[in-house]
């Protein structure tokens, strides 16, 4: 019998599972009753924060994301909590000054996060350094993610070299972040083996089921030596989400990779989430299209979420018939833009530009501000040079920046503190405001109104106006 190498499981239902399938609309109230059971499973970690959860909590659910994190931390006594962090963009869509990044990392760890998965949409490692150093300083676990993509530049040597640099940077572990489900089984074997040669860091594999190969990819990756895999409990698995936790546990049962997790307990957790999923189907929140296999993902290298965004953009313009033209235009725009991986925010930038190119009937007749910023070097350095002709058309004689954009930014925290002082109820509020000024302000107003109502009714009860 060969040496036992149990595979570790990262459960994503509280973050990527519901982000991928129901637009991040699961509420804290829906999460809390099952936490005690989830805490008994023995997961390596539960991913429960970051990504789009922060924006969605404030914008759609009228919840304080910091309060959610504290409640989850109170409930998970034995399990590590994990978040997703967009490098210098934190959880927003623009690069922030270093002081904001450092403060966000500090507060995330202080409120209960153990593992911070940090990535950059261009794999520009300069945009990860501040967050990694801050996590190291706060004694958190810094996991750095490679945004996996395909293209001439993305050779095994490229991935090995990047992994070595990540280890040298001070990362505690490495993640292969396959956000579009592009990693096919045989390539997973080659990639994991190459990374294991290049680095001694533990390796986590994250993928999506969009293209239909994810479970097989996990199997080959585990056999090649990957240490952790990301899965979602079955009601929030498959489609644009991750492979199902129970399926992967059962797959490796009795083998040298046996997770040792209790299927009965996982079954009870699945039973809890099933009605939440059914309700999402009934209300139209879970679109059945998100559950199927979309082989166009492999053909066009476009993430599932990006495909649905394109469809809705075209529907709004009454131009659904242009869908395939846009799909064919995406790889061309991506090439012009230095072959960037397609992940937030680069996926939105490339996708929107492709839509404009097709609808205008002329390529780059209209160029978005975000496209101009990317071509001007404001998001970081692309793996391949951008198309000089398109760059000139977009930014004219402006000199592209070659340094890290954050090096040109003044500290922001003090200014932000002044701007939102009237709404501040906790230190963390300034960070919510930094990321989403308008959305956070609307939430602060809502919170104040709710509080005043409660205070008023208490006062009225005491005055005898409303006898209890």
pLDDT digits (tens, 9 = 90+) for 388-429: 999 999 999 999 999 999 999 999 999 999 999 999 999 999
User: For residues 2 and 258, what is the distance between their CA atoms, to the nearest angstrom?
Assistant: 12
Q: Which residue has the higher pLDDT, 455 or 169?
A: 169
**Are 157 and 187 contained in the same domain?**
yes
Asked if residue 217 has pLDDT above 80, the reply is: yes
Instruction: Point out the least confidently predicted range of 34-43, 230-239, 338-347, 412-421.
Output: 338-347
The string of DSSP codes covering 116-149 is: EEE--TT--GGGTHHHHHHHHHTT-EEEEEEE--
Q: Give first-to-last CA distance, the chain, whole Å.
A: 69
Asked if residue 38 has pLDDT above 50, the reply is: yes
User: For residues 468 and 51, what is the distance between their CA atoms, to the nearest angstrom?
Assistant: 43
User: For residues 149 and 185, what is the distance between their CA atoms, to the nearest angstrom?
Assistant: 14
Please report, rounded to a whole number, the percentage of residues in the chain having pLDDT higher than 90.
84
Question: What mean pLDDT value characterizes the chain?
Answer: 93
Asked if residue 202 has pLDDT above 70, the reply is: yes
Q: Supply 274's token pair.
A: 């099933």
User: For residues 269 and 35, what is the distance between their CA atoms, to the nearest angstrom?
Assistant: 9
Which whole number is the average pLDDT over 265-285?
96
**Are 118 and 262 contained in the same domain?**
yes
Asked if residue 93 has pLDDT above 90, the reply is: no
Which whole number is the average pLDDT over 118-123?
96
pLDDT category at 458 given cuts 50, 70, 90 is low
Total domains, the chain: 3
Domain span including residue 196: 8-288
Which whole number is the average pLDDT over 273-280?
97
Asked if residue 454 has pLDDT above 70, the reply is: no
175 contacts: CB under 8 Å, gap ≥ 6: 117, 119, 143, 144, 145, 146, 203, 204, 205, 206
Q: Where are the alpha helices (DSSP H) in 411-463?
A: 413-419, 429-435, 437-463
**Are 433 and 394 contained in the same domain?**
no
Residue 163, SS3?
Answer: helix
Count Cα neighbours of 118 within 13 Å in the Cβ-side half-sphere.
37
What is the pLDDT, as a whole number, of residue 1?
A: 43
Q: Which residue has the higher pLDDT, 295 or 436?
A: 436
* pLDDT 10s digits, 337-388: 999 999 888 988 999 999 999 999 999 999 999 999 999 999 999 999 999 9
**Are 234 and 338 contained in the same domain?**
no
Asked if residue 135 has pLDDT above 50, the reply is: yes
Within a domain: residue 296?
Answer: no
User: For residues 253 and 191, what is the distance between their CA atoms, to the nearest angstrom?
Assistant: 25
The whole-model pTM stands at 0.93
pLDDT category at 465 given cuts 50, 70, 90 is very low
What is the pLDDT, as a whole number, of residue 225?
A: 97
Which whole number is the average pLDDT over 89-109?
95
**Are 356 and 419 contained in the same domain?**
no
Q: Which residues pair with 142 in a beta bridge?
A: 116
Q: Supply 195's token pair.
A: 């990374």
- How much of the chain is helix, strand and coil, in % rounded to 5? 55, 10, 35
CB-based burial label for 187 (10 Å; 0-12, 13-18, 19+) = middle
User: For residues 327 and 378, what is the distance between their CA atoms, to the nearest angstrom?
Assistant: 26
192-to-176, 202, 245, 356 alpha-carbon distances in Å: 9, 11, 21, 38
**Are 382 and 419 contained in the same domain?**
no
CATH code of residue 368:
1.10.472.90
Asked if residue 159 has pLDDT above 70, the reply is: yes
Q: Supply 130's token pair.
A: 């501040």
**Are 428 and 331 contained in the same domain?**
no
**Are 349 and 262 contained in the same domain?**
no
Which whole number is the average pLDDT over 215-224?
98
**Are 391 and 425 contained in the same domain?**
no
What is the pLDDT, as a whole number, of residue 460?
A: 44
**Are 211 and 310 contained in the same domain?**
no
Q: Supply 227's token pair.
A: 């240490």
* pLDDT 10s digits, 297-335: 887 777 766 776 787 788 889 998 998 899 899 999 999
28-to-62, 335, 352 alpha-carbon distances in Å: 11, 41, 32
């Amino acid at each position: 019998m060969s040496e036992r190498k149990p595979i570790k499981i990262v459960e994503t239902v509280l973050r990527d599972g519901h982000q991928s399938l129901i637009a991040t609309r699961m509420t804290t109230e829906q999460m809390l009753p099952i936490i005690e059971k989830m805490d008994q499973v023995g997961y390596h970690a539960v991913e429960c924060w970051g990504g789009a959860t922060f924006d969605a909590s404030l914008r759609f659910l009228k919840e304080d994301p910091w309060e959610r994190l504290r409640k989850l931390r109170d409930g998970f006594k034995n399990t590590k909590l994990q978040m997703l962090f967009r490098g210098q963009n934190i959880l927003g869509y623009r690069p922030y000054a270093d002081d904001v990044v450092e403060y966000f990392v500090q507060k995330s760890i202080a409120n209960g996060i153990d593992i911070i998965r940090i990535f950059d949409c261009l794999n520009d490692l300069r945009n990860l350094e501040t967050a990694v150093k801050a996590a190291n300083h706060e004694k958190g676990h810094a996991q750095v993610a490679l945004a996996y993509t395909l293209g001439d530049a993305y050779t095994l040597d490229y991935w090995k070299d990047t992994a070595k640099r990540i280890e040298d940077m001070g990362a505690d572990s490495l993640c292969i972040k396959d956000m579009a489900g592009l990693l096919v089984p045989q390539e997973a074997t080659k990639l994991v083996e190459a990374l294991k040669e290049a680095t001694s860091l533990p390796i986590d594999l994250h993928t999506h089921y969009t293209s239909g190969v994810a479970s097989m990819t996990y199997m080959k990756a585990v056999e090649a030596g990957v240490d952790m895999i990301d899965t979602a409990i079955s009601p929030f698995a498959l489609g644009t989400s991750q492979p199902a936790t129970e399926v992967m546990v059962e797959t490796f049962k009795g083998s040298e990779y046996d997770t040792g997790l209790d299927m009965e307990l996982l079954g009870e957790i699945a039973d809890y989430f099933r009605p939440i999923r059914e309700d999402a189907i009934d209300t139209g929140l879970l679109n059945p299209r998100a559950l199927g296999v979309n082989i166009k993902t492999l053909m066009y290298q476009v993430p599932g979420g990006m495909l649905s965004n394109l469809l809705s953009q075209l529907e709004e313009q009454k131009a659904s018939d242009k869908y395939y033209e846009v799909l064919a235009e995406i790889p061309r725009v991506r090439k012009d833009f230095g072959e960037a991986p397609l992940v937030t925010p680069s996926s939105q930038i490339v996708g929107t530009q492709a839509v404009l190119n097709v609808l205008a009937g002329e390529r780059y007749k209209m160029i978005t501000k975000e496209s101009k910023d990317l071509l001007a070097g404001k998001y970081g350095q692309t793996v391949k040079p951008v198309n000089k002709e398109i760059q000139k058309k977009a930014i004219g004689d402006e000199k592209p920046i070659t340094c890290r954009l954050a090096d040109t930014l003044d500290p922001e925290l003090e200014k932000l503190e002044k701007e939102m002082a009237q709404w501040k109820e906790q230190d963390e509020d300034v960070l919510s405001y930094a990321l989403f000024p308008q959305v956070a302000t609307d939430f602060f107003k809502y919170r104040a109104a709710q509080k005043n109502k409660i205070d008023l009714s208490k006062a009225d009860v005491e005055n005898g106006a409303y006898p209890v």
